[in-house]
Structure 1
Amino acid sequence: MVRMDLALAQITERVRAAAADHTPLRIRGGGTKDFHGQSRHGEVLDTRSLMGIVSYEPSELVVTARAGTPLAELEATLAAQGQCLPFEPPHFQQAGAEGATVGGMVAAGLSGPARASVGAVRDFILGTQILNGRAELLVFGGQVMKNVAGYDVSRLMAGAWGTLGLLTEISLKVLPNAPGEATLRFERSQADALAQLHAWGGQPLPLNASCWVHDAGVGTLYVRLRGAMAAVEAACRTMGGERMDNAVVAADWTACREQTLPWFAARPADHGLWRLSVPATAPVLALPGAAQPLVEWHGALRWVQAPLSAGDALREAARAAGGSAMLFVAPQDLEYGARGQLDLGSKALEQIHARIKQSFDPAGIFNPGRLSPHW
């Protein structure tokens, strides 16, 4: 049995009372991702009292932190040991707001520019401790990679946006910082950039991240290499392009991760930010209007600025390419956040999700409506 401290005991009692009264709870850490998701009702259940790094073994590449721990604190602790969260989770820090938390990072399941090369948040989760909708404290997984028998519930929490339970503690695999790094710049049309990325993907190159953006009338592809020093230097000679100063371009990769690049800032007030997930080999998509996307993840992630009226066209374009589209950030004149964000494209999958939700949260108290109007 897991021993409870005062903060956890108080939150547990809050969940138990909410379940008994069928009172909806809005789980919230730093609130940096409040813009995403359609539900804004329910009593706020603040997780920031559950903070602190429980254990960290640099030699084992494993860290365990409580859900309310500031993400910046965790990253600073890892950096002091020359280690990192390789999936580069975005913070989405806003002026006057508290910083992102470790629990929010996992609940949102969002990864940064390196995701296509190193994996997603869920790939680095070793174990979780959660409170379910019955106020039961459950432990899944552990602190080593090969510890899963049956369904990997810990990873199920990544991207669930708190709808299945309240994360209280998370164990993560971490990695050493790469010794070599370089960023190359190329002037390319979107079609040429996608073709080039596809070709490079079939070669033994230390590709880590990529970003194509159409800015000031010019299509530009940025490619970041990470790995052994010799491998990075050899790739630079093979790939060509303009090599950029690491000290200068690091801020640009951070801006890409945090969506503060000029391309994001130029979004019209009546346009939403749409997130299209497609196969990396998908061609240039037929987008409504004259929209030029920002392309990440070697072609697999395409950000599009478009009004809500373009939603059906965007979903169809993504579906035709073998992917999906969702509204990530709503237009500024919309009262709440991104609506109807979860598009499973299958009634069977929707039923599976609903059953999982019912199993973990039978009273439906956790973040109701955050992912779907129905649960």
Structure 2
Amino acid sequence: MTGTEDLISALRERIAAAHDRGTPLAIRGGGTKAFLGHRVEGAFLDVSALTGIVDYQPGELVITARAGTRLAELETVLAEHNQMLPFEPPHFGADATLGGTIAAGLSGPRRPWAGAARDLVLGTRVINGRGELLHFGGDVMKNVAGYDVSRLMAGAHGTLGVLISVSLKVLPRPAAEITVVQQLDATAAIRRMNELAAKPWPLSGAYWEAGALYLRLSGAERAVDAACDAIGGEADDDPERWTRIRELQTPLTADTDRLWRLSVPPAAPLADLPGQWALDWGGAQRWLVTDADANDIRTAAERAGGHATLFRGDGDARFHPLPEAMLELHRRVRKSMDPAGILNPGRLYAEL
């Protein structure tokens, strides 16, 4: 057996033993996403040693890597072939791993145009709550058809299984990329972003904060130049602009220990809530720094057709409450993968 096979075997044995005893396990890799969700009371299950790129086929636009592989390493290898992770995942630290990113279901500013993390997962290897090693999906694009169970792992926060490896679709880096900035208030910015979304412009980012709307254009050089001429605005030459947006390190999102994330239809009017806003994903993802009551924030999000999450900060409920029918569906899926409920119990909801 190889070192990796030995490690997987040891993880399977430990999970199987925990299943038999009903002992909770708190899955941990790089630890950069530990602030998300609720604290898990259980013995640490360290998966950080599951590292390395298993297979990379640039011509097929597919990469497979073990869950503990650092995002920085993955992105460096892709960049050598002029390719990238399309969903532009946030790192939140140098130790960010592929497994933690997929488990948290995190996507960056490019998400509305390139797809979410879940959309780009082609296959996974997972250890379920019984200690069984399972393989879902495929390793190449042509092998993936219909709904794939592997995509359930994106955003499950480890409650359905321990990720061993992930296969992802990748894309070529754009030939040209330009950011322009326009001075608008929040209401006008929402209207402007939705107007542009209806046009055939090569948008890859639309973010507003503190009166400035940043629009990123990516693609063929001629298409980007034409779009810039049509859209207008001043050139933004800050090379770290979108990295700071991605990493929540802007003046608003970095300087707060209590940050709400509202996911709503992009054209929804700005909610009548106190505090300061930032708008991402063309208006669909909204960051709010506020001392408003959690119920008021969630009610406002529901009225807009969305939901609200306490992304950073302390609170009784981090995630938006689920309707009973949806909660029951989650329970059934969880039970099928982790019947004893030992993997990250309570990370998402107390009932799961």
What range is the shorter-chain TM-score in? Answer: over 0.9
Tell me, in whole angstroms, the C-alpha distance in 1 between the residues paired with 2:142 and 2:327.
30
The equivalent residue for 2:294 is 311
**Pick from 167, 172, 184: which aligns with 1:171?**
167
SS in 2 for 1:250: coil
Residues of 1 paired with 2:316 and 2:7: CA distance? 33
Work out whether residues 37 and 339 of structure 1, in 8 Å CA contact, stay in contact via their aligned partners in 2: no
CA deviation map 1:64-111 (0-9, x unaligned): 001111111111110111100011111101xxxx60111111100010
Q: Which amino acid letter does the alignment assign opposite residue 219 of structure 2?
A: G
- Pair 1:194 & 2:186 matched: no
Using a 3 Å threshold, how does the CA distance of structure 1 residues 12 and 345 change in structure 2: closer, same or farther? Answer: closer
RMSD between superposed Cα atoms in Å = 1.5
1:104-123 equivalences in 2 (<5 Å): 104-123=100-119
Partner of residue 321, structure 1: 304
Deviations 1:314-353 (A, max 9, x none): 11111111101011111xxx4xxx5423325411001000
TM-score (norm 1): 0.90
Q: Deviations over 1:197-244 (max 9, x none)?
A: 111111110011011001xxxx11001011111110000000110012
Superposition pairs for residues 93-112 of structure 1, below 5 Å?
Answer: 93=93, 99-112=95-108
Say whether the 8 Å CA contact 1:39–1:368 is kept in structure 2.
Answer: no
The aligned residue for residue 281 of structure 2 is: 297
Query: Residue 105 of structure 2 contacts residue 118 of structure 2 at CA under 8 Å; is this kept in 1?
Result: yes
Are 1:286 and 2:263 matched, yes or no? no
Task: Tell me whether 1:205 sits opposite 2:204 in the alignment.
Answer: no
Q: Is the 8 A contact 1:87 1:111 kept in 2?
A: yes
* Cα distance in 1 for residues equivalent to 2:196 and 2:207: 14
Equivalent in the alignment of 1:265: 254
CA distance in 2, matches of 1:5, 1:296: 41
Alpha-carbon distance in 1 for matches of 2:343, 2:151:
18
Residues 29 and 68, structure 2, Cα contact 8 Å, conserved in 1: yes
Q: Distance in 2 between matches of 1:340 and 1:174?
A: 35
**2:86 alignment partner, SS class:** coil
- Using the TM superposition, give the Cα deviation of residue 24 of structure 1 relative to its aligned residue in structure 2, in angstroms: 0.5
How far residue 149 of structure 1 moved from its aligned partner, in angstroms, is 5.6
Distance 1:75 1:4 in 2: 22
* 2:232 is equivalent to residue 240 of structure 1: yes
The reply to whether residue 225 of structure 1 matches residue 217 of structure 2 is yes
State the aligned residue count.
350
Distance (whole Å) between structure 1 residues aligned to residue 162 and residue 106 of structure 2: 17
Residues 104-131 of structure 1, C-alpha deviations (whole Å, 9 max, x = no match): 1110001011111111001110000000
Shift of 1:4: 7.0
Q: Identity, % of aligned pairs? A: 50
- In structure 1, the partner of 2:326 is 349
The alpha-carbon distance between structure 1 residues 110 and 38, as it changes in their structure 2 partners (threshold 3 A), is same
TM-score by length of 2: 0.96
Q: Aligned to 1:74, what secondary structure does the other structure show?
A: helix
Runs of at least 5 residues in structure 2 that lack an aligned partner in the other structure: none
**Cα deviations across residues 280-338 of structure 1 (Å, max 9, x unaligned)?**
11112211x2x12100000000000123x5211111111111101011111xxx4xxx5
SS in 2 for 1:16: helix
SS of alignment partner, residue 10 of structure 1? helix
Of 256, 271, 276, which aligns to 2:262?
A: 276
Unmatched runs of 5 consecutive residues or more in structure 1? none
1:311 and 1:124, CA in 2 relative to 1: closer, same or farther beyond 3 A?
same
Of the three residues 177, 180, 202, the one matched with 1:181 is 177
1:141 to 132, 137, 146: 137
In structure 1, distance between residues paired with 2:85 and 2:321: 28
**Distance change (3 Å), C-alpha of 1:212 and 1:283:** same
Amino acid aligned to 1:368 = P
Instruction: Point out the more displaced range, 222-231 or 34-43.
Output: 34-43
SS in 2 for 1:293: strand
Of 310, 328, 335, which aligns to 1:358? 335
Q: What is the CA-CA distance between 1:266 and the residue it aligns to?
A: 2.8
